[in-house]
Structure 1
């Protein structure tokens, strides 16, 4: 990790030039059926299987682009004494464990990085500790391998997430420290904690923010990103010159597979998108709203018929491909549940998704996307440059049960600009 990467993300589909990942570790397994819901899981995962599947994602991305690991970046900045002191103090205050501060500061950088992610063990040297049902004085970050949510590249800056659930707040603190202090990253950060109004009502998570084009953002609002969060984003966009559009898509609160916009809608190419038909295309109560901004002012806010038609009206015509195919609503529901609409683009028309969603893959293949197993890429059996459009498939028996797909597990920091 020698060169410095300048943040630059002006689309969802530009050729990827740098991405931050976090390989799941013991923090994923450090839960029980009893506390899985508190950790925002509906089930507990088999770590060894999840890691095998994740290595397919990691292996493919290492063939395509520069990858950085959260734990490596965190270890690096914790070697800076003032950064270590500041981050530990902030975390201990936020999670009301000030008594841990001295103990944590005595750890070496690598071990402290481990414990900040995997959890700080609870000492059993007091009656309270001995009788506690908890194993950790500082809980593990069970969701951190979904690196999309705690920070998000917005053009040449990074927007720090304001997490909807306190169990994930430490992820955002870690990512902000990394972006501010890593010698390998060059960016400015925007933190919703700096908001002058309604700070406590703001929530923003990266799964809800899609940079469609230099002048178009798409934002989902629901369980994880609040309307106040969207208003904060509007204030940031108003600082730019020219015309900008923010398309807001309301999301259901149930089931849990609808937590983010990228679970029902992702961009695949200059002219293709993946949709979950009942929410994005069919008439329903979840509104699509267009916010037009010009020269630092909101010019208009109006309802639209649906997300795809709204984008078409903004000069971004997209052919929708259907999660789960077009024949059976039950199949659509099953594949959406397992992140069938959640794709990560490594270039225009070049994406990564789960192999398990066979009807979604059939829909893509029927529209010109070559289906390529991840193992063939990793083992150099395939020359990706020979294909104009493809979907690389990774195994997802365990990873999908965590509640996210290829886009959720990736935080892009640099993409080439797209020629539209």
Structure 2
């Protein structure tokens, strides 16, 4: 039985008290080389291998904290007829598939949840559909196991993402419905789509939003989160009236491994962070900008030398640990490409990441982090309480090819406060 929980996340590293996951299913397989690019993939994943690797991530988290599966939460709300009807109406209207509405209404909740994630087959029962090259009336949500992107817990609210790609918008619609109606997670939501003055130029995805401290947000200005998206978040923070800081890190539009800020920078502990050195530490054309707010107003906007020195000014003195080590730029590039900088904190100094990034893991070990195999945790061969600092190494030969790591695959809904 799932435990009901109130959302609240005030840091990236506070001890985890609840997290939303989505085990990859047939939606990952339901693509071809022709439509992989449209699905935002550069290759097709082997589902059976990806699922075995994902079991390591989920298995460790199930031992540590309450976990909530998207499909279970979605099934739960779809058992309520008015919610089911409203959600189908919204999705079918948005995706111009109103002809499917009656068919979907007839499905039981669990089957409807499955099809909304894995894809709804196009009925070849009219000339239009018969001649269509499409296989699905509602396309599979190939990227949904990266639960971080479609919504993000920011303090006492959940921000519903405004996805940069239309193919992912259903993920955000589903997550908003879950936060509105689920009996298990109670939260206030903020959705940019609900604001009359928010246009198509405003996009925000969760991989770009990092909560450094209860008064400091770090936001990536990326191919997926626009300057208008950052401004939207700032406008929400203005309502708080107290002193707040937003540190904006500009990112290159390509290669695709720089899709979000958490692919080049993640927080590990009160005094340490993981960085992709060439972008975060070295001189380049991508600016770090500090925006200071007080009493509901922006009081200053100024460029800073880099993200690390900017955070130090704000009282966060973080040692940067380099993704891929610091001796070879090629190694750094290779391991960053496979989500080597994308760590997920279970508690301060207790994190998860891909085992495949051996130079990154070695660098973590050199900084006092014990490397622990995920399966050893699952099989009770180690007691995590025995270690002050550790990194749990999960398999990532297949999962990493989807374009994300441990932080991307986890959406925390509650963390304990950090004693700064």
Listed as ranges, the gaps of 5+ residues in structure 2 are none
Please list, as runs of the form range in 1=range in 2, the aligned pairs for 1:211-250 lying within 5 A after superposition: 211-250=211-250
d(CA) in 2 for partners of 1:325, 1:43: 27
Counterpart residue number, 1:145: 145
**Which residue of the partner structure matches residue 80 of structure 1?**
80
Find the counterpart in structure 2 of residue 201 from structure 1.
201
1:102 match: 102
Other structure's SS at 1:23 match? coil
Return the alpha-carbon distance in structure 2 between the equivalents of residues 128 and 203 of structure 1: 33
Distance 2:60 2:2 in 1: 21
CA contact (8 A) 2:2 2:66 kept: no
Q: Deviations over 1:249-292 (max 9, x none)?
A: 00000100000000000000000000001110000000000000
Q: 2:102, 2:124 → 1: CA distance?
A: 17
Match in the other structure for 1:158: 158
Aligned length: 420
Task: Indicate the residue corresponding to 1:363 in structure 2.
Answer: 363
Is structure 2 residue 28 aligned with structure 1 residue 28?
Answer: yes
Alpha-carbon distance in structure 1 between the residues aligned to 2:351 and 2:379: 18
CA separation in 1, counterparts of 2:394 and 2:127? 47
Measure how far apart 1:196 and its partner are. Answer: 3.8
| Residue 134 (1) aligns with residue 119 (2) | no
Tell me the secondary structure at the aligned position of residue 292 of structure 2: strand
1:340 deviation in Å?
0.1
Alignment of 1:162-181 (within 5 A): 162-181=162-181
Query: How far does the alpha carbon of each residue in 1:173-227 deviate from its partner, in whole angstroms, 9 at most, with x for none?
Result: 0000000000011110000012342422210000000000000000001200010
Length-normalised TM-score, structure 1: 0.99
Secondary structure of 2:54's aligned partner: helix
Which residue of the partner structure matches residue 354 of structure 1? 354
User: In structure 2, how many angstroms separate the alpha carbons of the residues matched to 1:186 and 1:308?
Assistant: 35
**CA distance in structure 1 between the partners assigned to 2:196 and 2:272 by the alignment:** 39
Cα pair 2:144 2:171 within 8 Å, conserved:
yes
Bigger CA drift: 329-338 or 131-140? 131-140
CA-to-aligned-CA distance 1:344-389 (integer Å, 9 cap, x gap): 0000000000000000000000000000000100000000000000
Which segment drifts farther, 178-187 or 194-203?
194-203
1:192, 1:122 → 2: CA distance?
31
Contact residue 195 and residue 232 of structure 1 kept, 8 A: no
Looking at structure 1, the residues matched to 415 and 406 of structure 2 have their Cα atoms a distance apart, in angstroms, of 16
Alignment of 1:5-404 (within 5 A): 5-404=5-404
In 2, Cα distance between the equivalents of 1:128 and 1:225?
36
Q: 1:88 to 1:277 in 2, by over 3 A?
A: same
Per the TM alignment, residue 295 of structure 1 is displaced from its structure 2 partner at its CA by 1.1
TM-score between both structures, scaled by the size of structure 2: 0.99
- Cα deviation for residue 4 of structure 1 reads 1.8
What displacement does 1:135 show? 1.7
Alignment gaps of 5+ in structure 1 = none
2-11 or 259-268, which moves further after superposition? 2-11
* Aligned-partner Cα distance in 2 for 1:78–1:55: 26
**Structure 1 Cα separation of the partners of residues 164 and 117 of structure 2:** 19
Provide the rounded CA distance (Å) in 2 between the counterparts of 1:12 and 1:364.
18
Q: Give the superposition deviation at 1:2.
A: 4.4
SS at 2:35 equivalent: coil
